[in-house]
Structure 1
């Protein structure tokens, strides 16, 4: 199943600061596109109960009496490891009994800010995050780079200043004069880090505009044994995330959420083979990339593709998951992107590359002001993509449930054999 949405970006509450920066709130609106989708938000799916499985995984190293108490609570509330919800509920939120209970019993400083669970809960038509970026008027080399995000100049999660850096862009624009040796940095709140992009190839985009393609290096999500530089992203380890996965639990209220590229592209393929129904990754379908106009630094075409995975743990004292295997379970993957810019914009860009440097700077600032227009046609696809991949997610859920049932049956047979 593929669900596509038109995503509109709008900068609101814009303020020009005296230090050459601009502050604004980024509002994103998602509009369902029926023509580009082969399903609807009313379609019903069976998916892992993420709040429950997060709670059981977090309890794995807690005192045994706490795990037994949790099992009793789940019995009373009839909470199961899989839930049947509509796609719309999975995305935008549904009432969860555990989250509702947590509101009353969890200490105030540890409380979650909501009682509903949804992968994109609270993200539609909202503008909660305050972003301050450099306008480039005083220093063109900082054009579009984030100065502060919600008042912070660094992230609070990781083990070094380097890994806590925020000084990238939102991916729509970059400082000018990009070369093949330039490393571009993109910050996305849900990624919980800067994502470095390196030159891959020269490309021709819509309306014949040439550009450079930048994509994440193969080492970006490598395990720490392969890339020791990633140790700063493992504050609780070792053990750290397997090769090709990035642990964002610190940004997700300690839920065992791991990000990867779709179909575990560039990841250890034992992750893929551990779950039935996942086809091998394909670069053209699963790679993340941004094509930029090198002189201007403007994004011409892009595909941001990220898969959300849940680390499921066996917890013997909680009968609901006592027979589960330890597994990294793919929930779904997202694709966001633009195919190209309107011809009026590309004409303006072509003009900017031929005018004197001073006039070019003015045009670049104008393009920044048109940042909403540049991405207004961005299409966001919730990808349970193609018939095969739709089967993948449902089969994967069934596989995990079946594994539990099979192990329970084997245990019962052994007990019966012992009696006789």
Structure 2
């Protein structure tokens, strides 16, 4: 009897211990994750940050103008046909990496170079297509009179045939050469506002987009990877309000740990010269091993400023409608407008000003899949469309064949990165497996305690019941004996 009472006591102790260990184990797991993700010199997290295991690819889709003759003759609505993807491996290299004296900040530059991958591409980078003349996006608006004059005395046209590679990464244009010769003759130097090559990414191959200083998480884990400064500045100076000039969040490669479902994830993109936020849209299991949450920018981020007053500060002159942002202020005055591909979440006017736009959330929305405990990104698709706003005030006579103020798509891109199966397995071994072992120990202690307690209680009840039964039988026997004696 006493042995089973002792067993019950042990069971109670184990149950209490298991209950007490719940917050203790949670704290242990949190501390382990915090230490594991902090960016410290020579730590595993730092090496993973510096040399990420996932390959990055840039997929380009160009728009082929299939009715150039009709446009120039009759002013017909442009008909665009998407071609691609033309896939390039994006090789990233972090340079000038430096920790602050107290280890709370980490500064660096990241160069990006591109190598064509034929096996992943739908065509060759030598493919030809008809595109808008890139001289229009190579000169600031203030140079449009000069462009008009030069076009009138040369064989340059508003729409021309290009190879995919030259359109993206640039080519030497004889008109640009004449312009630079003019600058050398008059000013004795090249004009700094004009690039030597024409191309949407003519200056983006092998270069960095600036110097970043980010938080390491050593003083506050919730701030890890968030940007402290970009090019030495805590805020931007492109926009009209302090809200729009904020530099918020990370660069989008990772976030802080312990992400909640209702949380907004902020990131800064130098491509669109602003910060945006993302909200959770779904969740799923990656390879049936890792639980991730999918985040995407909601429609409010690029909403019409008349519907979302927060966006008024992004207006440059007349406010544009939903789904686009005029970035000329941060692109040396070049009339470039950014949007999501096919004007996804954009105003119907932009989608119908040209024929061929087919917005599709699955194909054209930006998305990032984050493991919520660590803030690690396992899958990302940054999608962006580069457009040019053409107005009749550009004074280039050929542009008057197009609708005044048309947002004309040039190409769209998809920057993608997905962690490999090996990376998934390594993460499971390093993070999930220790967590599962800790959880198993906790539930093992709790379960054993409950089992011992139940066994002890059942046995004690049986013993007590038997003793009562035996006592009752003895009482009946004594009663019968007494009656017999009488």
The Cα of 1:57 is off from its aligned counterpart by 5.7
Alpha-carbon contact 1:102-1:111 (below 8 Å) kept: no
- Aligned residue for 1:38? 122
Alpha-carbon contact 1:92-1:118 (below 8 Å) kept: yes
Q: How does 1:46-85 map to 2 (within 5 A)?
A: 46-52=130-136, 67=145, 70-85=147-162
Alpha-carbon contact 1:41-1:86 (below 8 Å) kept: yes
* Equivalent residue for 1:246, pick from 317, 325, 338: 325
Distance 2:194 2:140 in 1: 20
- Aligned residue for 1:91? 168
- Root-mean-square deviation (Å): 2.6
Distance 2:337 2:211 in 1: 26
- Higher mean alpha-carbon deviation, 182-191 vs 158-167, is at 158-167
Please tell me whether Structure 1 or Structure 2 has the larger radius of gyration of its CA atoms.
2
Distance 1:296 1:56 in 2: 44
The Cα of 1:352 is off from its aligned counterpart by 3.1
Alpha-carbon contact 2:131-2:161 (below 8 Å) kept: yes
- Cα distance change on mapping 1:350 and 1:149 into 2, 3 Å: farther
* Equivalent residue for 2:100, pick from 6, 9, 17: 17
Q: How does 1:163-182 map to 2 (within 5 A)?
A: 163-182=244-263
Distance 1:111 1:125 in 2: 19
- Cα distance change on mapping 1:354 and 1:145 into 2, 3 Å: farther
- Aligned residue for 1:263? 342
Distance 2:402 2:140 in 1: 11
* Equivalent residue for 2:427, pick from 342, 348, 351: 348
List alignment gaps of at least 5 residues for structure 1: 61-66, 357-420
* Equivalent residue for 2:364, pick from 278, 286, 298: 286
Q: Secondary structure of 1:336's partner?
A: strand
The Cα of 1:288 is off from its aligned counterpart by 0.7
Distance 1:346 1:163 in 2: 41
Distance 1:270 1:128 in 2: 32
The Cα of 1:192 is off from its aligned counterpart by 0.7
Alpha-carbon contact 2:150-2:175 (below 8 Å) kept: no
Q: How does 1:78-227 map to 2 (within 5 A)?
A: 78-103=155-180, 104-105=182-183, 111-112=192-193, 114-127=195-208, 129-206=210-287, 208-227=289-308
Alpha-carbon contact 1:56-1:318 (below 8 Å) kept: no
The Cα of 1:98 is off from its aligned counterpart by 4.7
- Aligned residue for 2:40? none
List alignment gaps of at least 5 residues for structure 2: 1-83, 436-486
The Cα of 1:314 is off from its aligned counterpart by 2.2
The Cα of 1:102 is off from its aligned counterpart by 4.7
Distance 1:70 1:10 in 2: 37
Name the structure with the higher helix share: 2
- Cα distance change on mapping 1:182 and 1:98 into 2, 3 Å: farther
- Higher mean alpha-carbon deviation, 335-344 vs 168-177, is at 335-344
- Aligned residue for 1:408? none
Alpha-carbon contact 2:141-2:333 (below 8 Å) kept: no
The Cα of 1:18 is off from its aligned counterpart by 1.3
The yes-or-no answer on 1:6 pairing with 2:89 is yes
TM normalised by structure 2 equals 0.66
Give deviations 1:353-374, integer Å, cap 9, x for gaps. Answer: 5769xxxxxxxxxxxxxxxxxx
Give deviations 1:116-164, integer Å, cap 9, x for gaps. Answer: 1211112223346222111111221111111122222211201222211
TM normalised by structure 1 equals 0.75
Distance 2:177 2:329 in 1: 21
- Higher mean alpha-carbon deviation, 223-232 vs 204-213, is at 204-213
The yes-or-no answer on 1:28 pairing with 2:112 is yes
Distance 2:204 2:306 in 1: 36
Q: Secondary structure of 2:410's partner?
A: strand
Distance 1:330 1:208 in 2: 40
